[in-house]
Structures are given as structure tokens and as C-alpha cells.
Structure 1
Amino acid sequence: MTDTGKNDARPVLVEAFSTLAACFDIPTPELAARLSSLVESLSSLAPEAARLAARAAGAAPDEADMAEARIEYSRLFVGPFSLPAPPFGSVYLESEGRVMGPSTMDARRMYQELGMDLADDFHNPPDHVVAELEFMAWLVYREIEAETRNDAEAAARAREARALFAARHVKAWFDEFLTRVEQNTDHPFYASLVPLGRAIMMTDAS
């Protein structure tokens, strides 16, 4: 991302992390619009990321091919058989590659320490890619919101928490997850998320 000032970049990071989370959730017809909005937000700050977001927006499923996209989503990330690209951090962070390992519990502990927890209708482990990306978005938002209240201490806590969570969790495994997606899909939408995901992670200095 070009250096246009931290305050300019952070609102875009909120949108970028949240949109990326939606892209790795069950496909919906709203994805194309969300990605198109992200293109506009990124255009002056990170032109290459904006170009990749535009490519993903063009590949996003519409009503006509939503069923095919959901089949590919299930094949890659849900099962019931072996998963080509498991969306759980513990698979990559635990030596035995198991779900719900100590790193999973650590992610949930970090959510709870900052007053967050999983929604009642979210039925995946705490280290699911959607949860971790949404948490990153929330931490950036929390920093911005604290600064609007002139609460420098709360802003610093949010900034430090994001750096710690990124280092211990999402940035520690997200790239390997994207590699698994890249190696195991020919679907244009999911293939387009690989470079976009990497570009978005590059925009965050935490």
C-alpha cells in the first residue's frame, strides 16, 4: 500500500478484512457488490490490490452459477470428506494438524479478553478463517473508534492486540491456507481470492 497516512488506510482495512471474510464464507449474491465497493476503497491507496479485487468481483458468482460456487465452497472448506483447504488455523499451527487444538483455544481466549465471542449462529471453531478475519476487521475498527473518543490508551490496546493476534494466528497460517486453495481449485472465484488475500495481508502493517 502506498504511504498515504495511517488514518486513511485503516478504514479501508476494516472493509478489506470484512469483505475477505465474507468471500470465504458460504457464497451469496452480495459478494460481487461488496468486492466492487472494495475496489473503489482501495483504488487510491493500493492500486494493485484494487485490480485484484476487481478481478475477484468479476469472478464472483451470480444467481445463475451460485449452486456451482456453493458446491466448490463445500468441497474445499466443509467436507464431509477430506478437505483440500481446511479453513482452521489449528490444522496449520498444531504439529499433529488437528482441529480444536491449543491454538484454537488461544484464539477464543483472545476474543473473550477483548469482550468478543462467536455469534450464536456461527457453528465453526474459533480459529475458522471467517472468524479470524472478522476479528482483525473489528480490532482495526476498535482502534479508529477509540481515537474518535480521544482515548489513546484504548486505541493503543486495540493496535497492540491486532499485532499480537496477527502474529500468533491469522498471519501465521493464512498464506499456507491460500496455497492450499491455489493448488486445489480451478474455480475462477476461489482462484481469484488467492492473490487478493495476499495483497490485503500486505496492506496491514500489524
Structure 2
Amino acid sequence: MLDAATLDSLAAAFAALGRLHREAPDETALRGFRDLIEDWPLAALEPEGKDSAAGPSNAGPSNAGPSNAGPSNAGPSNAGPSNAGLPSAGLPNSGSSSAGPSNPGPSNPAPAGAAAVGEAGTADASTRTRWHGGTDAGRAATGAGMEQIRESARAGETPEEIRRDHDLLYGDTAAARVAPYESVHRGVDGLVFGEATLEVRAAYQALSLQAPKLNQEPDDHIGLEFDFMAQLTLQVIDALYGDDAARAEKLMTHGTDFLRDHLLAWAPQMLDLATQHAQTHFMKGVVLLSIGALDSYAELLDLPFERP
């Protein structure tokens, strides 16, 4: 049975990580993300092998029922990019010419950067119940990622340093150390706009979504694929609160197919490379948190998650 509280936690994590893979945070978003890392919605395994003490200890749906957290009261429309400091970088509705959402609602991009952790989904960080799913390896990656974000703050890493690392890592303005596009990793020729790109585009279009710079930048950027899973998950929650179980199941089938056929088919290897090439604690943290998030969603859907 689908649980809205669990889905809310996953939507929040995937929304935040999608934004941070797409664009480095500015000072406001960086400070907010660091402040909110202790409220990370997915469980972490500390080095000594115990669950992280940070955040709520239970993961039941009691705090996220329709009576206090339905999409009509606290969906993405109340947590737009204006609270985040990061430009919108996700998937607008099909037909929108801008990178940001044209209309509020679960089908539009969840908020960016810090706001995504605290506000994406249907509950805020203070009331969201941390989901204790995922394998030990995945929760260990989450714990290591959280510690890297803490270390980034302790080391005083600046937005400029993180932006430079993001640029060098993903090739924002230069050659990428680790290409962030699925087609590069899975295509025979290792080029962008390959077969995988078109398949991903079709998956977006099935939910009336599209890449922000259609035909200019590849649709299969890891940040956009993470953002797509966040938006799909929010639509599932919307369907659950609307008592539309059939739509919720149909959406989850679409999400399962996308996760299995796309993200899990290339992102673990790409993220493993990124952990080796990232030079700042912050970007290492983002990558490790992403590994943990993929592991958590894969376990929920009973899909294999294989790290290199």
C-alpha cells in the first residue's frame, strides 16, 4: 500500500538534490541547506552503525494525513523558488517556454535548494517524519553525505568555491570531469542527445512535463531526472489525497519503469565517479546523498540497486 508520508520524504529529497545537481547554490541557498541538513527526510546510518539521532524517530503517516497536509493546503505552490535562492532549473509543464513553472501545483517543479528540503512535498521539515527505509549501504551513504555537508560548513566553503567545483565536475562552462547526461554514459558513441535522451523526453511528456531548454540542452541531465521523480511522486501524493487509487498506481508504475530503465541504469556509476572527482565537501555530500536517495526509492519499489 502506498504511504503518503514515505512518498513525501522521497519527493523532498529528490527535489532538493535535483536542483543541486543542476545548479550550484548561492549564499542564501547554501546557508539554508546546511541549516536544514539535520532534517534530511531520509534515514542515515552513522559510522558506528546506528541510525542518525537527528530528525523524527518514527516514519508513520500520522503527521501527513489529508486533514493537515493535503496538496490543497501545503503543496509546492506555497514553496516556490522565491524562498530558495536558486534559479528554477526543473521541468516546466509542456508548452511553457521558461525554465520555471507557469502554474502552481504538484505537476510543476518543487522548490530549489534549501526550500526543497524544508518545503517540497506536503509537509514541512519540522513535521515531516523521516523515512527509515533503504538498505544499510544506502543509509550509510546518506550519513556520509550529511557529514560532508556539515564538514563543508566547518571548513567555511564559499558559494564561489562550490560553484567552481560544480562547474569543473559537470562541465557547466568547460569540459566535464563527469558527464551528467544519461546518453553519454549509456550510448554507444558517448554523445549527448542520444536514444536515452528521447526516451527520457517521452517519459516527461507522459506527465505533461518537458525539459526547460528543450532541444538546446539534453533532457537526460541527472538533475532533471531527479526532479522528474520528485514531481511524479508529488502527483502520486495528490492522487492519494484525492482518493484516486487507480491514478496513484498508474503513476507509480510509470515511476517504477523510469527508475529501473533510466536512473538506476546509469546514475550509480556516474555518482560513484563524481565522488572520486568532486573537490569540495559540499559536492561530495550532494553526490552521497543522491546515492542514498536512489537506494531508498529502489528499496521501496523492490528494484535492484547496484553500486560499482
TM-score by length of 1: 0.86
- Is 2:179 the counterpart of 1:71? no
Match for residue 282 of structure 2? 189
Aligned-CA RMSD value: 2.7
Rounded Cα–Cα distance in structure 2 between residues aligned with 1:92 and 1:131: 16
State the distance in 2 between where 1:122 and 1:66 align.
30
Change (3 A) 1:12 1:62: farther
Q: 1:159 to 1:127 in 2, by over 3 A?
A: same
Aligned equivalents of 2:255 and 2:15: distance in 1?
A: 14
Q: Which residue of 2 aligns with 1:203?
A: 296
Q: Relative to 1, partners in 2 of residues 1:35 and 1:126: Cα closer, same or farther, differing over 3 Å? A: farther
Percent of pairs with identical residues: 22
Q: Map Cα deviations across residues 22-79 of structure 1 (whole Å, 9 max, x no partner).
A: 2212212314423543532333333756634532432269997111211111111125
- 2: distance between equivalents of 1:157 and 1:33? 35
**Cα–Cα, structure 1 residues 11 and 79, in superposed 2: closer, same or farther, change >3 Å?**
closer
The one-letter code sitting in structure 1 at the alignment partner of 2:6 is: A
Q: Deviations over 1:139-175 (max 9, x none)?
A: 1111110011111111011100100111111111111
Secondary structure at 1:24's aligned position in 2? helix
Give the number of equivalent residue pairs.
202
1:12 to 1:176, Cα distance in 2 relative to 1, 3 A: same
1:124 equivalent in structure 2 = 217
Cα 1:135–1:9 shift into 2, 3 Å:
same
Match among 146, 149, 169 for residue 57 of structure 1: 149
Q: Which residue of 1 aligns with 2:204?
A: 111
One-letter code of the match for 1:174? A
| Residue 231 of structure 2 is aligned to residue 138 of structure 1 | yes
- Structure 1 residue 94: Cα displacement: 1.0
2-structure distance, mates of 1:108, 1:61: 40
Cα distance change on mapping 1:48 and 1:185 into 2, 3 Å = closer
The residue number in structure 2 matching 1:19 is 16
* 1:102 maps to which of 195, 206, 218: 195
From 173, 177, 180, give the equivalent of 1:87: 180
| Secondary structure, counterpart of 2:22 in structure 1 | coil
So what's the TM-score if we normalise by structure 2?
0.59
Structure 1 unpaired stretches of 5+: none
- Cα separation, partners in 2 of 1:169 and 1:121, compared to 1, 3 Å: closer
Q: Identify the residue that residue 10 of structure 1 maps to in structure 2.
A: 7
Code of the residue aligned with 1:92 in structure 2: it is H
> Residues 183 and 220 of structure 2 are in contact (CA less than 8 Å); yes or no, is this contact kept in structure 1?
yes
Bigger Rg, structure 1 or 2: 2
